Structure 1
Amino acid sequence: MTVYFIGAGPGAADLITVRGARLLATSPVCLYAGSLVPRELLDDCPPDARLVDTAQLNLDQITDELVAADRAGHDVARLHSGDPSVFSAVAEQMRRLDAAGVPYEMVPGVPAFAAAAAALKRELTVPTVGQTVVLTRVAQRATPMPAGEDLATLGRSGALLVLHLAVRYADRVVAELLPHYGPDCPAAVVAFASRADELVLRGTLDDIADQVRAAGITRTAVIIVGRSLGAEQFRDSHLYSSDRERHVC
């Protein structure tokens, strides 16, 4: 059978994809990250489905559940928050399944940074202002960052940065980015994007850490820093330009 790594989306239950919802409704086993995945999604599982909250399980225990389901001939819906392609800890699970000979597929989901951009009502890539988005995090109590991927290095590009798993260290983020972006650079924090308790903070590098502290945000948030956030005067995109050469196929 098959293990489906399904992106459950950023928080709102109705932001799962149609494919993800269909697989969830037909899989006899569902493993889900209980601290992040909306409980409403579990209502779409078959009535007699085995539901396993992985919040307190280690990698070995999770792998055992997936392998046992496969050996019993059951498809598995493995729900991860956001999109499984970034910061999801899916890679090590797939490596274990490869070793065990268990087939799997990945089902994309709406990532947190996309939900944050929607909350801010912003396109992150703006013509002539910024065309590059860097998704990253900081190393504190987590796995160390590879050489050359520290904020000081990434900040030299001037690209729009989206930081996951970093809101607890907003002061550090600001300190490392100030020399490259300046205190007036637009910055935002979106916590619990797309959920009923969504919280949006808008400001600059000069004040965003103070706003985070005052709001008491400590988790489930992204920090976004870059000129694109405040762009108002910019050229229209070439995509819809009346001067663009038209090609008829």
Structure 2
Amino acid sequence: MGAGPGDPELITLKAVRALRGADVVIYAGSLVNRDILEYAPEDAEVHNSAHMNLEEITDIMVEACRAGKTVARVHTGDPSIYGAIKEQIRVLEKNSIPYTIIPGVSSVFAAAATLNTELTLPEVSQTVIITRPAGRTPVPPGEDLEELAVHGSTMCIFLGVHMIEDVAEKLMTHYPPDTPVAVVKRASWPDEEVVRGTLSDIAERVRAAGISKTAMIIVGSVLEPGDFKPSKLYDAGFSHEYRP
């Protein structure tokens, strides 16, 4: 399940219900707010996966399920984005263990909410690229930041603030240097922090703020769209199925 970006109220009702029925809880302690554990039974067996490898995690899952117990595997944000869940699913399926994926609120959307922005605007950007820069984990061919930047669309970059200089330099191969950028650290947490700038100065501003991890980088004109055109959805002269 996804536990959301940090604010314990940004967890779904379905995830809360699953937690309340769990015998075993495995949570990503490096990112998940511990307040989420309050939804679990007091006698639940709790494990912090930040200190565990894949085999240790899946061994607990398999052994608990074979004993007839229910396991809640708690990830930060939404587990489908950089959640490393497919490798866990593979083990569950190999052992014929049934499972359900419960989506969560991604830090992408928590960051957008903090910025009071819409990631897609008519004739400004209708595409959002969610990506990460190459680091210890490489990216597939064609997915480097320079190649994705050619689209000029809204870009949301995970796991890249520690190399913000390199990120900005690569993006400027196609985005203008004055393209707006926002870095949101720990979106939705009490100590949330926002740094705004442009591609030409964002690295300096982020370094001055001392931000080096747990931050979302959002790039694009949607951050400062100026006098943009409204959508057709509510245009009085635009008819559709529900409004002539």
State TM-score, norm by structure 2.
0.97
Q: How many angstroms apart in 2 are the aligned matches of 1:17 and 1:94? A: 21
Q: How many angstroms apart in 1 are the aligned matches of 2:234 and 2:120? A: 15
**What is the SS of the residue equivalent to 1:135?**
strand
Alignment of 1:235 onto 2:229: yes
Corresponding position of 2:92 = 97
Give the direction of change, closer, same or farther, for the CA distance of 1:127–1:63 in structure 2 (3 Å limit).
Answer: same
Q: Which runs of 5+ in 2 are unaligned?
A: none
Alignment of 1:206 onto 2:203: no
Q: Which has the higher helix share?
A: 1
Corresponding position of 1:188 = 182
Corresponding position of 1:157 = 151
- 1:247 to partner: Cα distance: 2.3
**What is the SS of the residue equivalent to 1:107?**
coil
Corresponding position of 1:42 = 37
Aligned mate of 1:10, from 5, 12, 25: 5
Q: How many angstroms apart in 1 are the aligned matches of 2:37 and 2:73? A: 12
Q: How many angstroms apart in 2 are the aligned matches of 1:113 and 1:199? A: 14
State TM-score, norm by structure 1.
0.96
Identity within the alignment, %: 49
User: What one-letter code is carried by the residue in structure 2 that aligns with 1:22?
Assistant: R
Corresponding position of 1:75 = 70
**What is the SS of the residue equivalent to 1:180?**
coil
Q: How many angstroms apart in 2 are the aligned matches of 1:200 and 1:40? A: 23
Corresponding position of 1:174 = 168
- 1:248 to partner: Cα distance: 4.9
User: What one-letter code is carried by the residue in structure 2 that aligns with 1:84?
Assistant: P
User: What one-letter code is carried by the residue in structure 2 that aligns with 1:19?
Assistant: K
Alignment of 1:114 onto 2:109: yes
User: What one-letter code is carried by the residue in structure 1 that aligns with 2:117?
Assistant: R
Q: How many angstroms apart in 2 are the aligned matches of 1:246 and 1:169? A: 46
Which deviations, in whole Å up to 9, do the C-alpha atoms of 1:17-63 show, x marking residues without a partner? 01111111111110001111111111111111000111111000001
Aligned mate of 1:65, from 53, 60, 64: 60
- 1:187 to partner: Cα distance: 0.4
Corresponding position of 1:124 = 119
Q: How many angstroms apart in 1 are the aligned matches of 2:146 and 2:240? A: 43
- 1:70 to partner: Cα distance: 0.4
RMSD of Structure 2 on Structure 1 (CA): 1.1
Which deviations, in whole Å up to 9, do the C-alpha atoms of 1:129-177 show, x marking residues without a partner? 0010000001112x21000000010000101110000000000001101
